[in-house]
Structure 1
């Protein structure tokens, strides 16, 4: 079986249909409707959910959509969003990691001990914390690929074990306060991009989008495949740039884009490129869609699992380190509250399938925005935290139900 056969999906065929009808508005609508009927909802449900959440909370409390509150939402969403980005990777393989919160806490503790107790430079502490994530990923990959231990089992064991590591590393103190003059704290809490620099970034993003689409158009044309028209590409680039410019203007009324959120967004874009445009990414989707078919096509399945588990745990470590910097300390509660469930829920709510083979890096960003927006809105209108957990659980159940229905629709469409 050829590799292209493994990674080719009905969604790919529908995307080609959209491209082929790019110059025909009615054709675009027909192809889009075909995607919905085929169960390929993409990010539509979560985007619709964000709009509904914004309207409901704005009606209840207009401060919700204020520039300052939106900046706060994005800033505090970033650390757990980075952890959720790792969860997206393992979910694409149809696996799970229940220990990301504990790993993030243990990594942050190692980082703090290196900086505060041992007096080492901040960068050394960060590297030490990230190495914890790398080692955990290597161990998980060994347990899965060599010993055949299910990911649910070893990650559940890791959840408990790394909570113990957190307590052991912190010792009798229980809490370590990070140096207030550290550049890491400055980055996570006080650095914002405003003024001319923010608009320059918007223009660069628009130009990068335009260049990538034109290159894609050129390569498709050279391969004698259907490609979108230049006009449609220019319109999309203009809409993207204009929308980002207005959002930047609105956020600049407050504090602007936080460096922490921009770092998270850069990770999402890089991961999206790796998943969609590289051989490694195609192999991840292939293994998640059908492992045996991927193996027979010549894909090194073991290497894919190794890279994904290491990537997930490393991103958990990065998220834990930045989360600790945002809170200025590491305590016995770091990563052990609802971090695990929030990260997993964000990936699923954002559109990543629990059944493997479907999802994107942007699922982590959209999902965490939904959860943090709900939390922020409920806090603004004075609702008890118990309600927040119930609402979050309901949203997660709805997301999984939509995914199940979509999967059934895709199966029916494939048989038809």
Structure 2
């Protein structure tokens, strides 16, 4: 009498272990997918070097300065990530931020309107600028380099018009000034930290369960615990240091707490990371950046995606302009000019966003912005001139672009692209 064997249930995907997770990461590195590793490595090395050469670099006061000094460039770099993901460029982002900052200052100073109306006017200006730039690139077929270079030149003149050929417009609205010059109460800073940690942990756990439920490889609990633990250690240390008293005379004025601009940058990071990684729009951005023709044949409206990317770039530049106006408590012809654009593009590329399109994350702008801020801050503490700062920053940018090009070649040779 024959018996029929009952087949055992076979897992669709082998269970992921910590060892398998590490092995997969090493394989991606060998294949050319370096991710954020170069930026993180460079940031750690720079911090160690400056800390050894100038111990005051690690002081609580200087640590807070790093956040406020790099905030505007980081926010502008976030917007540039959208354009760079498409393989395009926006050379006007710096002066776009200056024009939007001037609109903010004019609405506040000349018309006496509330801060939220001024911020809305500045952001609307950014949206209009992005729409015009994106339309010229997509509908007329003019290369983005030419369009945004023309805008770069034109916006310098527009900024001069808004500030009446060189007038310094003071920003006295306390809400605007508080963005870069005020701090959260220590208890609120810890509450913000706790919300971030709990939110990150919840996202990691939910993602792992959903993948496991669909029969896909999911990160093991140990890996999730490591990530959350790392965030707890680094974030907790940062909040602790920022909550230390930084004023030399606390009886007169107290300087402690997380700068208000930090939650703003974190909120933007979370928002745009969600958009890029969890929405159809984000997938379309990567698809168009990877192969525009294939995306078009797949039914994606490529022109609409490109226009929206320029709108987001200029919109984020407008927020960067508001932050810059808050930091200086004024707007002048140099707002958004000088090295703002160079540092913003450099921040995105140094962080890991590819100039060739199709590769990058919103976190890249934050990591790259941190690298740029550390270089400027550390070399300033060491007494180096602006010329040396430019040379070093340019060298780091060239190195990052070189790493990107080599990693793409390595990925192509290994069959990952």
The match for 2:251 is: none
Q: Per the alignment, do residues 348 and 20 of structure 1 end up closer, same or farther by CA in structure 2, a change over 3 Å counting?
A: farther
- In the TM superposition, what is the alpha-carbon distance from 1:108 to its structure 2 partner? 0.9
- In the TM superposition, what is the alpha-carbon distance from 1:28 to its structure 2 partner? 2.8
What SS does the corresponding residue of 2:21 show, helix, strand or coil?
A: helix
The match for 2:179 is: 187
Instruction: Kindly report which structure 2 residues correspond to 1:110-189, keeping only aligned pairs within 5 A, or say none.
Output: 110-172=103-165, 174-179=167-172, 181-189=173-181
- Post-superposition Cα deviations, 1:2-56, rounded to whole Å, max 9, x if no partner, equal xxxxxxxxxxxxxxxxx9674242x233222211111000000010001110111
What SS does the corresponding residue of 1:258 show, helix, strand or coil?
A: coil
On the 8 A contact 1:130/1:318 being kept in 2, the answer is yes
The match for 1:305 is: 306
On the 8 A contact 1:96/1:151 being kept in 2, the answer is yes
- Post-superposition Cα deviations, 1:308-337, rounded to whole Å, max 9, x if no partner, equal 110000111110121011101111111121
On the 8 A contact 1:205/1:241 being kept in 2, the answer is no
| Distance in 2 of aligned mates of 1:318 and 1:139 | 18
TM-score (normalised: structure 2):
0.91
The match for 1:363 is: 364
The match for 1:328 is: 329
Whose helix fraction is larger, Structure 1's or Structure 2's?
1
On the 8 A contact 1:84/1:344 being kept in 2, the answer is yes
What SS does the corresponding residue of 2:331 show, helix, strand or coil?
A: strand
The match for 1:216 is: 207
1:96 aligns with 2:78: no
Q: CA RMSD in A?
A: 1.6
Q: Per the alignment, do residues 218 and 157 of structure 1 end up closer, same or farther by CA in structure 2, a change over 3 Å counting?
A: same
TM-score (normalised: structure 1):
0.91
1:234 aligns with 2:225: yes
On the 8 A contact 2:177/2:326 being kept in 1, the answer is yes
1:196 aligns with 2:187: yes
| Distance in 2 of aligned mates of 1:400 and 1:389 | 16
On the 8 A contact 1:20/1:227 being kept in 2, the answer is no
What is the aligned residue count? 395
- Post-superposition Cα deviations, 1:106-130, rounded to whole Å, max 9, x if no partner, equal 1111111111012222221111111
On the 8 A contact 2:166/2:333 being kept in 1, the answer is no
1:23 aligns with 2:17: yes
More displaced 10-residue stretch of structure 1: 234-243 or 127-136: 234-243
| Distance in 1 of aligned mates of 2:181 and 2:242 | 16
On the 8 A contact 1:346/1:366 being kept in 2, the answer is yes
The match for 2:250 is: none
- In the TM superposition, what is the alpha-carbon distance from 1:75 to its structure 2 partner? 1.2
1:250 aligns with 2:241: yes
The match for 2:10 is: none
| Distance in 2 of aligned mates of 1:24 and 1:167 | 58
1:60 aligns with 2:61: no
On the 8 A contact 2:160/2:166 being kept in 1, the answer is no
More displaced 10-residue stretch of structure 1: 296-305 or 94-103: 296-305
Bigger Rg over Cα: 2
1:34 aligns with 2:27: yes
More displaced 10-residue stretch of structure 1: 290-299 or 347-356: 290-299
| Unaligned segments of structure 2, at least 5 residues | 1-12, 247-255
- Post-superposition Cα deviations, 1:131-172, rounded to whole Å, max 9, x if no partner, equal 111111111121112111110000000000111110111114
Q: Per the alignment, do residues 236 and 393 of structure 1 end up closer, same or farther by CA in structure 2, a change over 3 Å counting?
A: closer
On the 8 A contact 1:206/1:238 being kept in 2, the answer is no
| Distance in 2 of aligned mates of 1:345 and 1:365 | 11
On the 8 A contact 2:72/2:323 being kept in 1, the answer is yes
- In the TM superposition, what is the alpha-carbon distance from 1:250 to its structure 2 partner? 2.1
On the 8 A contact 1:22/1:232 being kept in 2, the answer is no
| Distance in 1 of aligned mates of 2:209 and 2:24 | 23
The match for 1:406 is: 407
The match for 2:385 is: 384
Q: Per the alignment, do residues 241 and 309 of structure 1 end up closer, same or farther by CA in structure 2, a change over 3 Å counting?
A: same
| Distance in 1 of aligned mates of 2:226 and 2:388 | 43
| Distance in 1 of aligned mates of 2:160 and 2:275 | 36
